[in-house]
Amino acid sequence: MPKPHFVFTQLHNSLRVHIPNLEKLSVADIQAIESFVQERKGFFDFNTYSFVIQKRLNYEEFLKLIDRSDLNVTMENKPLQKASKPRIAFGQYKGVFYSELPDSYLVWLKNNYIGADKKIVEAEIKRRNL
């Protein structure tokens, strides 16, 4: 069995980890990852092969956190591309780039938001393969 491969992305006030090889992992590996996420009050999304943890950690801090856990993973850092991107204009994430929103909130927006930025939300969901 292959080792889990984590692709880390630091967001505005959280972190996102994509696991591209999730389907190839053993049930025990998946359960260990899910337990790791739950212990940190994060959200594991099996549909997107990713999890989000609402903590401000940079890549080096996350590496230390993984080292202290029982997880045996390979890691990759994927910084966000910051350009002149649109920002959300309302709610708890007001002023945050759409590209930095947590996956769970973006999916919520897709299902509940009917405002002018609906196309931006849909484009960001497509970009992240959610």
Hey, what amino acid is at 18?
H
The ranges assigned to domains in the chain are: 5-77, 81-130
Query: What's the whole-number mean pLDDT along residues 34-53?
Result: 92
pLDDT digits (tens, 9 = 90+) for 88-129: 888 888 888 888 899 989 999 999 988 888 999 999 989 888
Give the three-state DSSP class for 54.
Answer: coil
pLDDT of residue 116: 85
For the chain, percent of residues with pLDDT exceeding 70 = 97
Q: Residue 74: which pLDDT band, with cuts at 50, 70 and 90?
A: very high
Integer Cα distance of 62 and 58 in angstroms: 6
Q: Residue 13: which pLDDT band, with cuts at 50, 70 and 90?
A: confident
Tell me if 127 sits within 8 A of 119, measured CB to CB.
no
DSSP state of 4: P
For 115, phi then psi, to 5°, come to: -80, -170
- The whole model's pTM is what? 0.64
Q: Residue 57: which pLDDT band, with cuts at 50, 70 and 90?
A: confident
